[in-house]
Amino acid sequence: MTSLLLRRFVRDYQSTSDPEVRARYALLEAGVSTILNLLLAAVMLGMGLAYNSIALMANAAHTASDVVSSITVFIGFRAARMPPDEKHPHGHGRAEHIATLIIAILLIILAYEFLVLSVSRLLHPQPVGGSVLVVVVLLASATVKEWMARFAVGLGRQVVSDTLVADAWHHRADAISMSLVSIGIISAMRGYSGVDSLLAGVVALVIGYTGFSLARQTVSKLIGEKPSEELLEKVHNVTRATHGVRDTHKIMVHDYGGSTHISLHIQVDPELQVTESHEIASHVKYRVASETGAEVIVHVEPHG
């Protein structure tokens, strides 16, 4: 299904490093998510009002909020594709991280509101209705949300985007909460109405934990997270394997969202001519860029 949608709606979908193509991936994910979320939210809100289920209404609101997060994802990608300018010489790629942070904050706020509501309903119980039809609809909705999560993760991995993966977790949190709410409905049908409020609290905690985890990861990247050891080792090995390089050090990786910049120092034979040193540096730049897909800057030093 993912491949079919990509071929149908994303032109040049295989050029995943192109900012324009990345924006089309985001638009596809946002469009699919918006349509399905609005349909699911309308169904659950109607049933929540009909059966006086706070857990159902909580899930409806959370599902509707996914529309906001999907729009945020698309806006983030659109901003990230803007070319470098005088104030932003390395482009606007970190706009994707900002979009992820906004999604995380929305999740945390939503979790807090429904946790308060859940506690209130526990202290002041109200009757909760339910039916087999509601349970079936909830489980079917959970299945759809899990598909949406996998769809977003698949797109996110193809364009290497934490923002799309973050939106996937938004969908997956819904799938988990819907499954829990279905248990609450079954309990209410057997006379245990308080279970609905308890599970609404569990849903809120799941949502809050997801939001907090995303926020922590995103803030870490925004303030300059250390690159993976695998990437550093790859750059080191590729550089050292280049003919003429005696040693390498000061490897620095800068993540700008949609693009990565790597700067490094190489040491060469001090007796070489400038043109020969420059040729070696050019080989290093080409090989590292080919292996990592990053923009590369090489500084040459005399060995020893």
234 CB-contact burial (10 Å; exposed 0-12 / middle 13-18 / buried 19+): middle
Same domain flag for 37 and 111: yes
Give pLDDT, residue 208: 86
Residues 9-38, mean pLDDT to the nearest whole number: 84
Residue 212's Cβ-side half-sphere holds a number of Cα atoms within 13 Å equal to 8
Residue 287 has pLDDT above 80, yes or no: yes
Model pLDDT for residues 187-217, shown as the tens digit of each residue: 777 777 677 778 778 878 888 888 898 889 8
Residue 297 has pLDDT above 80, yes or no: yes
State the residue range of the domain holding 250: 229-302
Q: Please report, for the domain that includes residue 154, its CATH number.
A: 1.20.1510.10
Same domain flag for 123 and 167: yes
Give pLDDT, residue 128: 63
The pLDDT confidence band at residue 127, using thresholds 50, 70 and 90, is low
d(CA 5, CA 159): 15
Average predicted confidence (pLDDT) for the chain? 83
Model pLDDT for residues 28-85, shown as the tens digit of each residue: 988 898 999 899 888 888 888 887 777 677 778 777 877 877 788 778 877 877 877 7
231: tokens are 């990437």
d(CA 35, CA 204): 24
Same domain flag for 200 and 142: yes
d(CA 160, CA 100): 14
Give pLDDT, residue 298: 93
The total domain count for the chain is: 2
Pinpoint the alpha helices (H) of the chain: 2-9, 19-51, 54-80, 95-123, 132-158, 162-189, 194-222, 229-240, 274-292
Residues 88-97, mean pLDDT to the nearest whole number: 78
Q: Which of 169, 189, 222 lies at the terminal end of a domain, its last residue?
A: 222
- HEC secondary structure over 172-196: HHHHHHHHHHHHHHHHHHCCCCHHH
- pLDDT top residue among 178 and 249: 249
Same domain flag for 143 and 290: no
Residues 267-290, mean pLDDT to the nearest whole number: 91
Axis crossing angle, helix 194-222 with helix 54-80, rounded to the nearest 10? 20
Residue 168 has pLDDT above 80, yes or no: yes
Give pLDDT, residue 284: 92
Model pLDDT for residues 223-241, shown as the tens digit of each residue: 877 778 888 888 998 898 8
C-beta of residue 55 within 8 angstroms of C-beta of residue 28: no
Residue 126 has pLDDT above 80, yes or no: no
Same domain flag for 168 and 264: no
Residue 250 has pLDDT above 80, yes or no: yes
302: tokens are 């005399």
Can you tell me which residue has the tokens 């079919």?
4
Q: How far is CA 280 from CA 233, 254, 260, 261, 296, in A?
A: 20, 23, 22, 19, 14
Same domain flag for 114 and 136: yes
- pLDDT top residue among 256 and 153: 153
Quick one: which of 224, 214, 201 has its CA closest to 103? Answer: 214
d(CA 119, CA 287): 59
Residue 10 has pLDDT above 80, yes or no: yes
d(CA 216, CA 204): 18
DSSP character at residue 225: P
Contacts of 265 (CB under 8 A, 6+ apart): 248, 249, 250, 298, 299, 300, 301
